[in-house]
Amino acid sequence: MLQYIIRRLLQLIPVLLGMTFIVFLIIRAIPGDPAIVILGQQATEEAVAALRETLGLNNPWYVQYFEYLKNLMTGDLGESIRTRTAVNEEIWPYLAATFELSIFAMVIAVFIGVNAGIISAWFRNSWFDYGAMIFALIGVSVPIFWLGLMMQYQFSLQWDWFPTTGRENVRDPVNAITNLYILDTIIQGRFDQTLNVLRHLVMPGVALATIPMAIIARMTRSSMLEVMKSDYIRTARAKGEKMFWIVYKHSLKNAVIPVLTVIGLQTGLLLGGAILTETIFGLPGIGRYIYEAISSRDYPVIQSGILVVAFIFVMINLIVDVLYSIVDPRIRYN
Amino acid sequence: MAEPSKISDEIKQEIHDETLPPWKEAWRNFKKNKIAIVGLSIVSFFILVAIFAPWIAPEGINDQKLPERLQSPSAEYWFGTDDFGRDIFSRVIHGARISLWVGFLAVVGSAIVGSTLGIVAGYYGRWVDTIISRLFDIMLAFPSILLAIAVVSILGPSLQNALIAIAIINVPNFGRLIRSKVLSVKEEEYIMAARAIGMSDFRILFSHVLPNSMTPIIVQGSLAVATAIIEAAALGFLGLGAQPPQPEWGAMLSSSREYLIQAPWTMFFPGLAIMLVVLGFNLLGDGLRDALDPKMKT
Percent of chain B with pLDDT over 70: 91
Lowest mean pLDDT among A158-167, A269-278, B109-118, B280-289: A269-278
What's the pLDDT at A59?
Answer: 80
pTM > 0.80: yes or no: yes
Tell me the chain B residues in contact with residue A147 when contact means C-beta distances shorter than 8 Å. Answer: 271
Test the B interface: residue of A141, A158, A218 with most B CBs within 10 Å: A141
Residue B278 · residue B44 · CB < 8 Å: no
What's the pLDDT at A178?
Answer: 83
Cβ of A272 within 8 Å of Cβ of B143? The answer is yes
The candidate with the shortest Cα–Cα distance to A205, out of A274, A120, A279, A306, is A274
In this predicted structure, the answer to whether residue A184 has a pLDDT above a threshold of 50 is yes
Q: What is the ipTM of this complex?
A: 0.84
Establish how many alpha carbons lie within 13 A of residue B267's alpha carbon, considering only the half-sphere containing its beta carbon: 25
Q: CA-to-CA distance for A318 and A190, rounded, in angstroms?
A: 36
Mean pLDDT value of segment B75-79: 84
Q: CA-to-CA distance for A290 and B110, rounded, in angstroms?
A: 26
Residue A218 · residue A146 · CB < 8 Å: no
Nearest residue of A to residue B231, measured between CA atoms: A143
Mean pLDDT value of segment B279-283: 93
Residue-wise pLDDT tens digits, A121-167: 888 888 999 999 889 989 989 999 999 999 999 998 888 898 888 88
Q: CA-to-CA distance for B44 and B30, rounded, in angstroms?
A: 15
What element of type H or E holds A237? helix A231-238
What's the pLDDT at B76?
Answer: 82
In this predicted structure, the answer to whether residue B3 has a pLDDT above a threshold of 80 is no
Q: Looking at the partner chain, which of A157, A258, A313 has a beta carbon nearest the beta carbon of B141?
A: A313
Residue B63 · residue B72 · CB < 8 Å: no
What's the pLDDT at B297?
Answer: 45
Torsional sign, CA A87, B241, B172, A333: positive
Test the B interface: residue of A145, A218, A223 with most B CBs within 10 Å: A145
For residues A170 and A77, which has the higher predicted lDDT (pLDDT)?
Answer: A77
Q: Residues of A numbered 168-197 whose beta carbons fall under 8 angstroms of chain B's beta carbons: which are they? A: none
Lowest mean pLDDT among A31-35, A89-93, A144-148, B75-79: A31-35
How many residue pairs from chains A and B have C-beta atoms closer than 8 A? 121
Mean pLDDT value of segment B86-99: 91
Cβ of A302 within 8 Å of Cβ of B153? The answer is yes
B199 — pLDDT class (breaks 50, 70, 90): confident
Q: Looking at the partner chain, which of B139, B143, B230 has a beta carbon nearest the beta carbon of A309?
A: B143
Cβ of B279 within 8 Å of Cβ of A141? The answer is yes
In this predicted structure, the answer to whether residue B298 has a pLDDT above a threshold of 50 is no
Cβ of A272 within 8 Å of Cβ of B146? The answer is yes
Q: CA-to-CA distance for A275 and A265, rounded, in angstroms?
A: 17
B208 — pLDDT class (breaks 50, 70, 90): confident
Tell me the chain B residues in contact with residue A153 when contact means C-beta distances shorter than 8 Å. Answer: 260-261, 264, 267
Residue-wise pLDDT tens digits, B186-198: 778 888 888 888 8
Q: CA-to-CA distance for B125 and A14, rounded, in angstroms?
A: 18
Q: CA-to-CA distance for A241 and A226, rounded, in angstroms?
A: 19
Nearest residue of A to residue B148, measured between CA atoms: A272
Q: Give the 3-state secondary structure of residue B198.
A: coil
Give buried/exposed letters for A202-212 (b at 16+ CB in 10 A, else e): bbbbbbbbbbb
> Does the beta carbon of A258 lie under 8 angstroms from any beta carbon of chain B?
yes
Nearest residue of B to residue A147, measured between CA atoms: B271
Percent of chain A with pLDDT over 90: 10
Other CB atoms within 10 A of residue B202 CB: 8
A31 — pLDDT class (breaks 50, 70, 90): confident
Residue-wise pLDDT tens digits, A40-85: 777 788 888 888 887 777 788 888 888 888 888 888 888 887 788 8
Q: CA-to-CA distance for B235 and B153, rounded, in angstroms?
A: 11
Residue-wise pLDDT tens digits, A230-265: 787 788 888 887 888 887 877 777 667 767 777 777
Q: Looking at the partner chain, which of A272, A294, A310 has a beta carbon nearest the beta carbon of B153?
A: A294
Strand-pair partners of B81: B87
What's the pLDDT at B169?
Answer: 92
What's the pLDDT at A275?
Answer: 82
What's the pLDDT at A229?
Answer: 79
What's the pLDDT at A333?
Answer: 53
> Does the beta carbon of A255 lie under 8 angstroms from any beta carbon of chain B?
no
Q: Looking at the partner chain, which of B137, B260, B298 has a beta carbon nearest the beta carbon of A149?
A: B260
Distance from CA of B135 to the nearest CA of A (A): 8
B1 — pLDDT class (breaks 50, 70, 90): very low
In this predicted structure, the answer to whether residue A91 has a pLDDT above a threshold of 50 is yes
Cβ of A18 within 8 Å of Cβ of B138? The answer is yes
What is each CA distance from A80 to A22, A37, B37, in whole angstroms? Answer: 20, 12, 53
Cβ of B237 within 8 Å of Cβ of A291? The answer is no
Cβ of B141 within 8 Å of Cβ of A314? The answer is yes
Other CB atoms within 10 A of residue B272 CB: 17
Cβ of B298 within 8 Å of Cβ of A149? The answer is no
Nearest residue of B to residue A317, measured between CA atoms: B141
Q: Looking at the partner chain, which of A15, A143, A279 has a beta carbon nearest the beta carbon of B230?
A: A143
What's the pLDDT at B46?
Answer: 95
In this predicted structure, the answer to whether residue A331 has a pLDDT above a threshold of 70 is no
What's the pLDDT at B5?
Answer: 55
Q: Looking at the partner chain, which of B137, B138, B271 has a beta carbon nearest the beta carbon of A143?
A: B271
Mean pLDDT value of segment B86-105: 92
Strand-pair partners of B87: B81
Mean pLDDT of chain B: 85
What's the pLDDT at B18?
Answer: 62
Q: CA-to-CA distance for A107 and A97, rounded, in angstroms?
A: 16
In this predicted structure, the answer to whether residue B15 has a pLDDT above a threshold of 70 is no
Mean pLDDT value of segment B82-98: 89
> Does the beta carbon of A152 lie under 8 angstroms from any beta carbon of chain B?
yes
For residues B144 and A251, which has the higher predicted lDDT (pLDDT)?
Answer: B144
Nearest residue of A to residue B233, measured between CA atoms: A143
Q: Residues in chain B whose beta carbon is closer than 8 A to a beta carbon of chain A? A: 35, 134-135, 137-139, 141-146, 149-151, 153-154, 156, 226, 230, 233-234, 237-238, 250, 253, 257, 260-261, 264, 267-268, 270-271, 274-276, 278-279, 282-283, 298
Give buried/exposed letters for A176-195 (b at 16+ CB in 10 A, else e): eeebbbbebbeeeebeebbe
